[in-house]
A and B are shown apart, each in its own frame.
Chain A
Amino acid sequence: MATLNINLQFSGGMELLFDNQKSINVQIPSTFSDKAVEKHATNMRDLIAWTAENLVQERPELFLGNDGSVRSGILVLVNDADWELEGELEYEVQDGDEIVFISTLHGG
Chain B
Amino acid sequence: MPSKPLKNPCNLCQSVRAILKRPKTGQQLCKECFFHVFETEIHNTIVDNKLFKRGDRVAIGASGGKDSTVLAYVLKLLNDRYDYGLDLMLLSIDEGITGYRDDSLETVKRNRDQYQIPLLIVSYKELYGWSMDDIVKEIGRKNNCTFCGVFRRQALDRGAIMLNVDHIVTGHNADDIAETVLMNILRGDLPRLQRCTSIITNDTSEDSSGIETSKVLRSKPFKYTYEKEIVMYAYFKKLDYFSTECIYSPNAYRGHARVFLKDLEQVRRTSIVDIIHSGEALSASVVANTTTKLPTLTTCTRCGYISSNALCKACLLLEGLNRGLPQLGVGHSAKIRRQHEERQRDSGTSTPLPTSSSPVVGGEESTVLAATVTLPSSTSSVDTGNAQTKDGLDYEAKVVVTHMKDLETRIGQLQMPSLHST
Q: How far is the CA of A13 from the CA of B100 in the complex (A)?
A: 13
Q: Are B65 and A107 in contact (CB under 8 A)?
A: yes
Q: How far is the CA of A85 from the CA of B19 in the complex (A)?
A: 7
Q: Which of B202-210, B256-264, B317-325 contacts A (4 or more CB under 8 A)?
A: B256-264
Q: Are B8 and A81 in contact (CB under 8 A)?
A: yes
Q: How far is the CA of A104 from the CA of B173 in the complex (A)?
A: 12
Q: Which of A29-37, A43-51, A69-77, A90-98 contacts B (4 or more CB under 8 A)?
A: A69-77
B253 at the interface (CB under 8 A from A): no
B contacts with A, residue count (CB < 8 A): 32
Question: Contact partner of A106 among B17, B69, B245, B262, CB < 8 A?
Answer: B245
List, in ascending order, chain A residues with CB within 8 A of B67's CB: 108
List, in ascending order, chain A residues with CB within 8 A of B227's CB: 104
Q: Are A72 and B63 in contact (CB under 8 A)?
A: no
A42 at the interface (CB under 8 A from B): no
Contact with B along A56-99 (1 / 0, CB 8 A): 00000000000000001101010011101100000000000000
Known contacts A75-B228, A77-B235; decide if A13 and B263 are in contact (CB<8 Å): no
| B7-33 CB contacts (< 8 Å) to partner A | 8, 17-21, 28
Taking the closest CB of chain B, its distance from the CB of A34, in whole angstroms, is 26
Q: Are A81 and B63 in contact (CB under 8 A)?
A: no
| B127-172 CB contacts (< 8 Å) to partner A | 171
Q: Are B245 and A104 in contact (CB under 8 A)?
A: no
B45 at the interface (CB under 8 A from A): no
List, in ascending order, chain A residues with CB within 8 A of B245's CB: 13, 105-107
B375 at the interface (CB under 8 A from A): no
B66 at the interface (CB under 8 A from A): yes
Q: Are B244 and A13 in contact (CB under 8 A)?
A: yes
List, in ascending order, chain B residues with CB within 8 A of A103's CB: 243
Taking the closest CB of chain B, its distance from the CB of A84, in whole angstroms, is 4
Known contacts A73-B262, A108-B173; decide if A85 and B231 are in contact (CB<8 Å): no
List, in ascending order, chain A residues with CB within 8 A of B69's CB: 108
List, in ascending order, chain B residues with CB within 8 A of A82's CB: 18-21, 232
A11 at the interface (CB under 8 A from B): yes
Q: How far is the CA of A102 from the CA of B239 in the complex (A)?
A: 14
Q: How far is the CA of A3 from the CA of B220 in the complex (A)?
A: 49
Known A13-B245, A75-B232, A105-B245; 18 more pairs at CB < 8 Å: A12-B66, A12-B243, A13-B243, A77-B235, A81-B19, A82-B232, A85-B19, A104-B66, A104-B228, A104-B231, A106-B66, A106-B245, A107-B245, A108-B65, A108-B66, A108-B67, A108-B68, A108-B171
Ranked nearest first, the 3 interchain pairs of A and B with the lowest CB-CB distance are A108-B67, A108-B65, A72-B262
